[in-house]
Structure 1
Amino acid sequence: MRVGLQISTATIPQTPTGESLAYIAEQADQAGFSTLVMPDHFTLRPESAPWARMGDSSTPAVIDFFEAWSVLSFLAARTSRIKLSTLVSGITMRYPAVLIKTVDTLDALSNGRAYLGVGASPNFGRDEHERMGLPFPPAGERIARLEEVLQMALQMWSGEDKPFEGKYYQLTSSLGAPFFVQQPHPPILIAGHGEKMLRLMARYADIVSVGFGQDLDDMQKKLEFLRQQCEILHRPYEAIEKTTFYTPPVLRDGHLDPAALDAIDALAKLGVDEIMVRPPSDAEAFEIYATEFIPAVNNIAVAGR
């Protein structure tokens, strides 16, 4: 099993700097984290995203974010091993062909470390879209657009010279020489939780981000539905890697609480390949992650692997 790291580029509680972000990424690269991801937002009001509230009067009227793919490109130059992705880019946030080209370029310049992390844009994003002048169609249409984006990516990465004729997106030609290093293309990471999204994941995803690791029953139901959809498509369920968010483990008296590994082992038995945690709170905690937590998780066998 692997441990990934989710970092934030929000301007709360303080605005990050290039050096502060690079420090976290460099430490994560050296500590053995498998993946570094970040949310893809531009600006959010706390009332539309309750998880972003500070819980007191210090919460600003608007929470700004550094643009995610720019940050990933910057961090690619400061790291050498860790995989890089958004978790995830809503397909209504940017024009699809440009996003695909961005990932293609990042994969080339990072020597094969980029994922195409995409989703159907969360419902709480309406305010953000409206203030940024971006369209925000109904949820069903957003999922349909996402499928077209995935089809477009596969066609563009094939280098085949033909138009792309979707209902929502059209390209006069997809001719070109893709830059990516990974084969057959940068892995497609899709995040979501509803049945329509899980059907889409079964068809297109190389990696899926599903739910929160603390809710084992919900995780089991979602993964079982994903397995059923793979069987319908005659696609090996094991071909899809699974990742999930996880609350950072408790550290007691300068060491890892062994109970944390019991819960993670339960996830591995469900077939979860990677847990995604937030950065440790300080240098001492980071050291415990590197010397105790990550090696222990790496030794946990994942069912079906």
Structure 2
Amino acid sequence: MTDYGHDLLFGAFITPTARPPTHAVELAEAAERAGLDLVTFQDHPYQPAFLDTWTLLSYVAARTRRVRLSGNVINLPLRHPAVLARSAATLDLLSGGRFELGLGAGGFWDAIEAMGGPRRSPGQAVEALEEAIEIIRELWDTGERGGVRFDGEHYRLEGAKRGPAPAHDIGIWVGAYKPRMLRLTGRVADGWLPSLPYLPGGPADLAEMNRRIDEGAASAGRDPSAVRRLLNISGRFSPSRGSLLSGPPRQWAEELAEISLRHGVSGFILMADDAAALELFAAEVAPATRELVAAGRAG
């Protein structure tokens, strides 16, 4: 059993579909009304069927008051880290400290290259992501004097001005699956954000992946609990019990509590574009899961 000690949070993973253009916004507003903690959007700038995720995040931030926001995850190859740092800090300031930075190394390289972005090997993608995280944190650090100079394999800064500083310590959550990326997450990230449907072995895969993150944290002298573990999930609500996350809300709560207590996951983000499912997730699954995890921790 692994428990990293974080409070639970529950969120929504909403498709940023462009037709109708207000659909994703309305779902985000519904998620906030329902009481969810977090609203996230995938980021595929090469996909014309989607709204631009950064513009959408900014618009939703202006239409909401409480819910936290994040990309899930932001496409690094098409968003330069120096500009991304300023964009993230700006959105965090304007939203009252409600932004978290989900960040991905990229993957659909043909589409990225078609948009003018770089084509990177798996090793290069890891290197670029680590460089980007360092650059972003340096630009947020307005306590240091002088501009930021960085001479990396993938990015170069020649005295870039620091700031603005974000309203709160923005968490950098990395979407990662492979060993090198998992170890990087442990070394430098604040959170890990995979998707359950992409794990061939289901929740059982989390144990080995957590181990690699913990190894990365230890190699950098960090406490593994410094890395929050989140999980995008999908499923189906129904009156009768079925397979994993296919059944009534109580079954969902029991299964999510088991994942939390066994694998240390403290954030569950429902991949759904249906307001009724988000409302049920917030009203019944989230509180029941919190109660079960609290009881398990106390025991």
TM-score range, shorter chain: 0.7 to 0.9
User: In the alignment, what sits opposite 2:4?
Assistant: none
Is residue 43–residue 64 contact of structure 1 (8 Å, CA) maintained in 2? no
CA distance in 1, matches of 2:297, 2:189: 18
TM-score by length of 2: 0.85
Pick from 98, 113, 117: which aligns with 1:113?
98
CA distance in 2, matches of 1:219, 1:151: 26
1:37 aligns with 2:20: no
CA distance in 2, matches of 1:210, 1:3: 15
Residues 7 and 280 (structure 1 numbering): CA distance in 2 closer, same or farther, change over 3 Å? closer
CA distance in 1, matches of 2:297, 2:94: 33
Find the residue that maps to 1:259 and give its secondary structure. helix
Find the residue that maps to 2:231 and give its secondary structure. strand
Gaps of 5+ in 1: 45-62
What pairs with 1:180-259 in structure 2 (closer than 5 Å)?
180-182=166-168, 185-212=169-196, 215-252=202-239, 256-259=248-251
User: In the alignment, what sits opposite 1:51?
Assistant: none
Amino acid at match of 2:188: Y
CA distance in 2, matches of 1:70, 1:136: 25
User: In the alignment, what sits opposite 1:142?
Assistant: 125
What pairs with 1:8-47 in structure 2 (closer than 5 Å)?
8-11=15-18, 15-18=19-22, 20-44=23-47
Fraction of identical pairs, as percent? 27
User: In the alignment, what sits opposite 1:84?
Assistant: 69
Q: CA deviation at 1:195?
A: 0.9
CA distance in 1, matches of 2:92, 2:20: 24
Q: Which runs of 4+ in 1 moved over 4 A?
A: 302-305
1:7 aligns with 2:10: no
Is residue 90–residue 121 contact of structure 1 (8 Å, CA) maintained in 2? yes
Q: CA deviation at 1:221?
A: 1.0
CA distance in 1, matches of 2:89, 2:254: 38
Pick from 167, 172, 175: which aligns with 2:158?
172
Pick from 126, 132, 145: which aligns with 2:115?
132
Residues 110 and 139 (structure 1 numbering): CA distance in 2 closer, same or farther, change over 3 Å? same
Give the length in aligned residue pairs.
277
Per-residue CA distance 1:208-254 (angstroms, 9 max, x = gap): 1134177121111101221222222221111111111212352328x
Find the residue that maps to 1:116 and give its secondary structure. strand
Amino acid at match of 2:186: A
Per-residue CA distance 1:148-173 (angstroms, 9 max, x = gap): 10110111111231322222211122
Find the residue that maps to 2:174 and give its secondary structure. strand
Residues 174 and 165 (structure 1 numbering): CA distance in 2 closer, same or farther, change over 3 Å? same
CA distance in 2, matches of 1:236, 1:146: 21
Find the residue that maps to 2:119 and give its secondary structure. coil
CA distance in 2, matches of 1:151, 1:205: 10
Find the residue that maps to 2:213 and give its secondary structure. helix
1:155 aligns with 2:138: yes
Pick from 98, 101, 105: which aligns with 2:83?
98
Is residue 36–residue 85 contact of structure 1 (8 Å, CA) maintained in 2? yes
Is residue 10–residue 282 contact of structure 2 (8 Å, CA) maintained in 1? no
User: In the alignment, what sits opposite 2:269?
Assistant: 276
Find the residue that maps to 2:89 and give its secondary structure. helix
Residues 142 and 286 (structure 1 numbering): CA distance in 2 closer, same or farther, change over 3 Å? closer
Find the residue that maps to 1:17 and give its secondary structure. coil
Q: CA deviation at 1:282?
A: 4.7
CA distance in 1, matches of 2:138, 2:279: 44
Is residue 3–residue 274 contact of structure 1 (8 Å, CA) maintained in 2? yes
User: In the alignment, what sits opposite 2:243?
Assistant: none
